Structure 1
């Protein structure tokens, strides 16, 4: 058990209305109020965070929902633990922010890209898949799946027909075989084929669907067909299945798709249905607000205090990353100390988060010390760490260390180690070494969009346009599927070379020719370039295309757009109404920009002229 300790300022002065029966987080209408926020408006967390570790909560940072107080057990269920593992995006390394390892996912998926960059593989939500993962991957090895191979070989053929023929050949359809196939499809982000397989399995009625099967289907529908379709699907699930698990799955997809409004609606729905508020649910909200509105983190933590919910390792990881992103290294270290005091040791992902933030804050020695601890004394026995260590040593600028780690892998490299090596050598501007690793991959595995995309990123970061063009031509000749991640690399290749209009044209053609949606940050890259030029026309054009692509409106989009008006020295009439229509409450930077683009703003000179 842990408790939140009030700061010296009473809660009522911080925008909270706390009663014995409920916690209501109220809002205010002023969008500029943040300019006068006092630093003391924080919450301290006794038994969890020390008095110096504050997450600020202000009037306009309300969660927009009310949570009834109930007596809850702070321990999580097995089902909840499975779900926590199933949505491993909560473990996304700091500094990635969709960027650092965004090209490690494949363009080969079936309509799998939802516009977000995902840095980590998403484990299955089916309990059979979880069991198969344990059986089939005890030493990070691979168990063969005949069903998966049959599906992968069925290019351009109806999947249902392929599966029917597979059965006709006398193959047995077991849960273990199905779970392995689902696991590998999800790991490769082939969500379209996974959904077809799920639908076919239910139609065959070879075995009864259980709770986890329905949750898996729901997750796939949310990824491919949208959150609304997923909500409709929930109503068709048998009453015998837990609605709580289904709504937790839906909530996690809202967070994955960065849809704040829908996530809050789903949370309110869960409260209305009297589902218990769990640490998994709170972690989802924390992760959502870490991305979008860090002031609301205090609200979630206050909610956890009132519901007697103990923090998990994921909770600490999110808070550590949030502090690191705010450049509050002392606060970050204090959270680590509190985490250890609670008997929770930082895992490898959390250690990677800490190292990245130490590096970005210039604490090279501290980062290197933690890296050595993380590596241990026998890297050959813990070889799976190489993929993580390579880019981290590259961030430190340690050429010799990257070379040393790569030598451990070089004689018989694994796929993910090669990707890490290309990324690491690219960061160190060692283009020849990166290309050598690339050629090793091409010889050992076939040429793929994933492999090419990460090398394209290296070329883009080093402004090597001609090499990038040659690689794109090679991809075309090799029959590689060009998708959102490759588009992102190509756009950045042209942008780094100063050819913004060409990047814009490439992205527009790609979006028109494919059913897949470009990645959010691909559009943002072009928008930033036009905004820096003060090109309002093209900035508004890209902004409109982002809205048409059905991305949730974000403060970052408006922040970049307003830069275009500021650089052009032109007022942005109606911008406040646009923000209000998209339910965006300005942060400090956005509020300052609003003042600069206000066409009706008065100043001493205008007063004299009036």
Structure 2
């Protein structure tokens, strides 16, 4: 039944002298029983038997023979990094959890890009960045998305919130709005919440939610409380969200509420807290759903791929059927490890289980084929996506444009764009700009942007940012500056994505100091912290220069913004020391303090900057 364990290359069975397996109730833990190598860090046992842990066959030989041990099944975060030395630099957007509510106050997710956007969208499909999905059903998700697209115009309740300058003003305006006889139906509330979330106005959404809770005509359910938890987490942090849960009536403090908090932990890659919340769901004897397991899979895909097998084993033990999202995530994970055979085996397993790849899954497959250099298979997948008549299959046009650009096929990009050129949609324009930009067809991208600007008079910042990225790709600093000025003149709010594009623009033009200055200003903005990927662009440049002082400065600023305990940061920082040819005193202690487990590549870097390493000459002198 659970054929997923057949979906990868088999790891040879090896003696399990130092490995034991203990089955128990469904809580997971990566055990601390380990061996210690010459770096003085604990590492998982290198040998594991397939008989003891068959799910390990998910891993291909690209991960090496290192395995991990399943202990008494409570999740713990003893190793906070990936074994392969690979990290999703931007909490990768390939599978940001696209969850939507089918009822309650969360009507549809925000389709704007989130802070997970980065250059790594090359190898990961750009999905709508839905803020939270409280349903487990893929068909439900698609239905809600369609419903959102059909909605006509913002609700009156939404307008009241947008026009209110403060909570006090909002409460008075809302009270008057009701007194004037306006409708306070579920559909009106849902419409207002959808519009606020879509515009990332989470503070106002929380204000509206707080006001609604005090209205006698509005009956709160578990999903409504879950919406409040989500908004608390986004505006006031995880601690406030967790505290709010304790105030929710016990009858409504169910699995949906806790998994909402779990999703927010994963969104900001807070591994320890996410594992604590998952264990709490178990402790409270709430049902473990595919949603919660998928959240952990997403988390470990970003932070420690070795732990993915822990989650898969839990799903098998608890008889939790993998969803389409589960398979998409596993396919993407295999693809990122350049394990094309393993990726195809996961796909076959998915089909065996009765699930056909959807558009998102096909796009992921095509992109990994491209990056694996297997262009013929990529073209086959893309032709399957197109179908017999692309004009009738218009919904796939937007997704095809950037993939054909990655393939380097200018003719196909132009052919697909012609399908919608006479009456394009916003997402089609956005992806056409990106596609032409990657092909270095700046003039064509500018034509699309001009067409978009004329059709829609008021564009949000992300559409200007798309053009800004084109100028960054092509090192056109002057035009990039003009685009930023145009954004400012048109009243666009400059957010993390725009800062990211602006930093990239200066870096591509060789102005690292200016890029650093821009990043510093961005970090001081109240609207939102810079992306992880934005910081890493600067850190990598300083590392290349061997500029230890500025590399440490960026590293410190990342910690201030909450980006801690990531392998990728330490990897780049160590490279700065290596290129500067200076020792890195106390670096092992720093790694231990942050609970960062070194991969082989990091161990190699540490050896290069070890001030006390022994050599043949030093032994003679001693």
CA deviations 1:139-176 (Å, max 9, x no partner) are 94333342255147527464334433433443211111
C-alpha separation in 1, matches of 2:101 and 2:15: 34
Q: Superposed, which structure 2 residues align to 1:426-445 within 5 Å?
A: 426-445=437-456
Is 1:159 matched up with 2:170?
A: yes
CA deviations 1:386-418 (Å, max 9, x no partner) are 111110111111111111111111111111111
Which residue is 1:400 aligned to?
411
* 1:304 shift after superposition: 2.3
Which residue is 1:329 aligned to?
340
Q: Superposed, which structure 2 residues align to 1:450-489 within 5 Å?
A: 450-489=462-501
Cα RMSD for the two superposed structures: 3.6
**Is residue 45–residue 69 contact of structure 2 (8 Å, CA) maintained in 1?**
no
Q: Superposed, which structure 2 residues align to 1:302-451 within 5 Å?
A: 302-445=313-456, 446-451=458-463
* 1:242 shift after superposition: 3.9
Which residue is 1:30 aligned to?
36
C-alpha separation in 2, matches of 1:166 and 1:395: 51
**Is residue 265–residue 271 contact of structure 2 (8 Å, CA) maintained in 1?**
yes
Helix, strand or coil at the partner of 1:271: helix
* 1:376 shift after superposition: 1.1
Task: Give the direction of change, closer, same or farther, for the CA distance of 1:176–1:124 in structure 2 (3 Å limit).
Answer: farther
* 1:122 shift after superposition: 2.9
Larger mean Cα displacement after TM superposition, 351-360 or 548-557: 548-557
* 1:49 shift after superposition: 6.8
C-alpha separation in 1, matches of 2:194 and 2:301: 29
Which residue is 2:23 aligned to?
19
Is 1:99 matched up with 2:119?
A: yes
C-alpha separation in 1, matches of 2:141 and 2:302: 33
Helix, strand or coil at the partner of 2:214: helix
Task: Give the direction of change, closer, same or farther, for the CA distance of 1:440–1:252 in structure 2 (3 Å limit).
Answer: same
Moved over 6 A (4+): 33-37, 39-57, 59-64, 80-89, 130-133
Helix, strand or coil at the partner of 2:150: coil
Which residue is 1:150 aligned to?
159
* 1:277 shift after superposition: 2.8
C-alpha separation in 1, matches of 2:199 and 2:232: 17
C-alpha separation in 1, matches of 2:390 and 2:503: 37
Helix, strand or coil at the partner of 2:428: helix
- Counting matched residue pairs gives 580
C-alpha separation in 2, matches of 1:177 and 1:342: 40
CA deviations 1:247-269 (Å, max 9, x no partner) are 11111111111111111111222
C-alpha separation in 2, matches of 1:520 and 1:190: 22
Q: 1:588 aligns with which of 577, 600, 606?
A: 600
Is 1:553 matched up with 2:565?
A: yes
CA deviations 1:476-525 (Å, max 9, x no partner) are 22222112211111111111111111111112123224352111111111
Helix, strand or coil at the partner of 2:583: coil
Q: 1:520 aligns with which of 519, 529, 532?
A: 532
C-alpha separation in 2, matches of 1:380 and 1:100: 30
C-alpha separation in 2, matches of 1:333 and 1:288: 23
**Is residue 469–residue 501 contact of structure 2 (8 Å, CA) maintained in 1?**
yes
Is 1:562 matched up with 2:562?
A: no
Which residue is 1:2 aligned to?
2
Is 1:494 matched up with 2:506?
A: yes
**Is residue 219–residue 253 contact of structure 1 (8 Å, CA) maintained in 2?**
yes
Is 1:225 matched up with 2:236?
A: yes
**Is residue 158–residue 193 contact of structure 2 (8 Å, CA) maintained in 1?**
no
Task: Give the direction of change, closer, same or farther, for the CA distance of 1:322–1:466 in structure 2 (3 Å limit).
Answer: same
Which residue is 1:70 aligned to?
none
Larger mean Cα displacement after TM superposition, 422-431 or 142-151: 142-151
Task: Give the direction of change, closer, same or farther, for the CA distance of 1:161–1:460 in structure 2 (3 Å limit).
Answer: farther
Is 1:598 matched up with 2:610?
A: yes
**Is residue 507–residue 515 contact of structure 2 (8 Å, CA) maintained in 1?**
yes
Task: Give the direction of change, closer, same or farther, for the CA distance of 1:11–1:231 in structure 2 (3 Å limit).
Answer: farther
Is 1:543 matched up with 2:555?
A: yes
**Is residue 433–residue 448 contact of structure 2 (8 Å, CA) maintained in 1?**
yes
* 1:575 shift after superposition: 1.0
C-alpha separation in 2, matches of 1:372 and 1:424: 18
* 1:121 shift after superposition: 3.0
TM-score by length of 1: 0.86
TM-score by length of 2: 0.84
C-alpha separation in 2, matches of 1:412 and 1:223: 36
C-alpha separation in 1, matches of 2:51 and 2:530: 39
Q: Superposed, which structure 2 residues align to 1:187-206 within 5 Å?
A: 187-206=198-217
Larger mean Cα displacement after TM superposition, 163-172 or 298-307: 163-172
Task: Give the direction of change, closer, same or farther, for the CA distance of 1:566–1:214 in structure 2 (3 Å limit).
Answer: same
Task: Give the direction of change, closer, same or farther, for the CA distance of 1:20–1:48 in structure 2 (3 Å limit).
Answer: closer
Larger mean Cα displacement after TM superposition, 145-154 or 547-556: 145-154
Task: Give the direction of change, closer, same or farther, for the CA distance of 1:36–1:314 in structure 2 (3 Å limit).
Answer: closer
C-alpha separation in 2, matches of 1:338 and 1:126: 24
* 1:286 shift after superposition: 1.1
